[in-house]
Amino acid sequence: MLDEKLLDKMRICSFDLKCPEFSIDFADNNFSTYKLYKSQGLHAYFPILTSQENLLMISLSPQAYQKELDHIWWRLVREFSLIYLAVVLFSILFSLYTLSPLRQSLRLTEEFIKDILHDFNTPLASLRLNSAMLKREIGSNKKITRIESSIESVLSLQENLRCYLFDHEMQQHPITLYPLVQTIAHEIAKSYPTITYHLDIPKECTIQSNEKALTRILSNLLSNASKYNKPYGEVKISYRDNQLTIADTGKGIKDTKRIFDRFYKEQDRGIGVGLHIVKKLCDELNIEIKVRSSLGEGSCFILKIR
């Protein structure tokens, strides 16, 4: 297309010779006229009305020809860039427009769940108070124990949802590990009286962490180790060389690569956010978590506390 355009300019130049971008010379009448030649730039031959022996040679230097090519190239780049930017901008605006209702719905849903979590506090407090009063009146029995366990399960679910929805500060401070794990295991054992818990943690062992977040991590892991254990199974918690290990004799896990995914679960119980929250809190505390599992033999979670 450029060559045709230049040939048309040369043809016009052959009539008025007013073309400073071209060089003009004469040549023997041995060449085809009105044809573009490419050797050392561009040139073409045109007839001279007053001469049958010579032709008019109009040429464009290699440097000038390359300059024309560069000009076309950069014009195409600019046009392509403008089109690309327009497409990207349009895509972003269209995405914002189409996703806006979804974002609004998610925001309303999140606010609704937060309101429900807040409203949970009153009935739960009433349940705990009344169960405590009933326990004082008639003494402890299996029914009251089950009521207390159910209340604790609802409180655990509430805390999981709270960790999932709310941001929290991760200020770390020294924590004595043994009494913390012992307290959590003791509370969970109330709901699983047939499970045996073994603690192999130095009693003076101190780690640097956030107590609230670490409590939620251990509660979720020990709860799962108990919930999916076999009857009269065992849960072993040990700490060696900055590694906290929680091993059980339960059902095992089919897909260890997906257990930390949100809403993934292999059992009918639960909603599939417990281990996702564990992974989220471990990442925030800079704790590396690994899992080993064999179906029918049990699972082992390893927390490397840096």
Strands in 7-134 per DSSP E: 23-28, 36-38, 42-48, 51-60
Percent of the chain at pLDDT above 70? 89
**pLDDT range class, residue 181, cuts 50, 70, 90:** very high
> Considering the chain, what is the average pLDDT of its residues?
83
Mean pLDDT value across residues 166-183 = 82
Let me know if residue 214 belongs to a domain: yes
Tokens of 27: 């040549």
**Among 38, 60, 82, residue at a domain's last position:** 60
Q: Convert the pLDDT of each residue in 73-128 to its tens digit.
A: 888 889 899 999 999 998 888 887 887 777 777 777 667 666 666 566 667 777 77
Instruction: Answer yes or no: is 113 within a domain.
Output: no
Give the residue from 10, 36, 60 where a domain finishes: 60
**For the packed helices 62-138 and 142-165, what is the interaxial angle rounded to 10 degrees?**
160
Note whether 233 and 250 are within 8 A (CB). yes
CA distance 207 to 204: 10
Whether 203 is covered by a domain: the verdict is: yes
Q: Which stretch, 31-35, 260-264, 298-302, has highest mean pLDDT? A: 298-302
Name the pairing type of β-strands 298-305 and 243-248: antiparallel
Q: What is the residue type of 305?
A: I
Please state the rounded mean pLDDT for residues 184-205. 90
Does some domain include residue 9?
A: yes
Question: If residue 80 lies in a helix (H) or strand (E), which one and from where to where?
Answer: helix 62-138
Q: C-alpha distances in angstroms, 89 versus 70, 75, 84, 99?
A: 28, 21, 9, 15
Distance in angstroms between the alpha carbons of the first and the last residue of the chain: 67
Q: What is the pLDDT of residue 8?
A: 81
Q: Label residue 222 exposed, middle or buried (CB < 10 Å: 0-12, 13-18, 19+).
A: buried
Range of 281's domain? 172-305
Number of separate domains in the chain: 2
Residues 177, 54 share a domain: no
pTM of the model: 0.54
- Listed in sequence order, the residues at least 6 apart from 106 whose beta carbon sits closer than 8 Å to its beta carbon are none
Is residue 181 within 8 Å of residue 236, measured between CB atoms? no
Place of tokens 């849903």: 109
| Angstrom distance (rounded) from CA 203 to CA 220 | 22
Given a cut of 90, whether residue 299 has pLDDT beyond it is: yes
Number of other CB atoms surrounding residue 92 within 10 Å: 10
Q: Give the pLDDT of residue 263.
A: 78
Which pLDDT does position 167 carry in this prediction? 58
Per-residue confidence band for 164, with pLDDT thresholds at 50, 70 and 90: low
- pLDDT tens digit string along 18-71? 888 888 888 888 888 888 888 777 888 888 877 788 888 888 888 887 787 788
- The burial class, CB within 10 Å (0-12 / 13-18 / 19+), for 96 is exposed
| pLDDT tens per residue across span 242-256 | 899 999 998 888 888
- Give me the CATH number covering residue 214: 3.30.565.10
Picking from 17, 41, 60, the residue at the C-terminal end of a domain is: 60
At residue 222, does pLDDT exceed 90?
yes
50 assigned to some structural domain = yes
Res 266: pLDDT: 74
Q: Is residue 207 part of a domain?
A: yes
Q: What is the pLDDT of residue 289?
A: 92
- pLDDT the model gives residue 196: 93
Instruction: Tally helices (H) and strands (E) across the chain.
Output: 6, 11
Cβ–Cβ < 8 Å for 135, 151? no
